[in-house]
Amino acid sequence: MRRFIPVLAALAALALLAGCGSSSKSSGSSNANAAGSTSANPYGGSSNATSTPATTPASGSGQAMQIKTAKAEFGTILVDAAGKTVYLFEKDKKDVSNCSGACAGFWPPVTTTGAPTGSSGASMSMLGTIKRADGTMQVTYAGHPLYYFVKDTKAGDANGEGLDKFGAEWYALGANGKKVEKEGS
C-alpha cells in the first residue's frame, strides 16, 4: 500500500498538468509571462490574468484591427470595432511599449494581423503599429501603444480610466491623440 500512494499521487499530478495545457492559439496578446501566474491581483478581487479579451478581430483571420470613436460619459474616446475602450499607458514612450509580463496580463495590448484601419472619427494618419517582443504587432495611435483592460467586459466600459498601476496612469484616448480624463481623475 505504501508504494501505491506515491504512484497515485504522481498520476494525479500528471492528470492535473495535462488538464492545464491548451492546444488553442494565443489571441496575440503579450501575456505569456502572465500565463498561469499566481501573483496577487493588483486590482483587488480574484481575477485570472490570462482571461483577456480577444485582441484581434476573428483571431487569425488576417483582418486588420479597426479603431473608431464612441461617446463615453467623460468625452469622445477611441474604441475597437466592438466598442471596447482602448487605453494609453503614460509610462510608454513614443512607439515603445513598457507593458509586458504581468502588466500585459491585466492590460492586454491591442494587436492586429494587418494594417489597422480608422473610421467614425479615428484618424488613419495617426494609426500605426509596433512589433512587440513576442513578435505580435501592437496598434498605436499618435505614437501611443494601445491596450485593453481586463475589467472592461462589454462595449462602453471604461473601468481602467485614470488608474495608476504598473508604474504610471492609464487613460482612454481621444481622436486627437491625447488622453481623455474623467473629472476628478
pLDDT tens-digit readout, 134-151: 999 999 999 999 999 999
* Predicted model pTM: 0.69
pLDDT digits (tens, 9 = 90+) for 39-73: 444 444 433 333 334 343 333 345 789 999 999 99
Other C-beta atoms lying within 10 Å of the C-beta of residue 177: 15
- What residue segments make up the domains of the chain, in order of their start? 32-180
**Residue 18 parent element (H or E):** helix 4-20
- Where b means 16+ CB within 10 Å and e means fewer, 62-90 reads eebbbbbbbebebeebbbbbeebbbbbbe
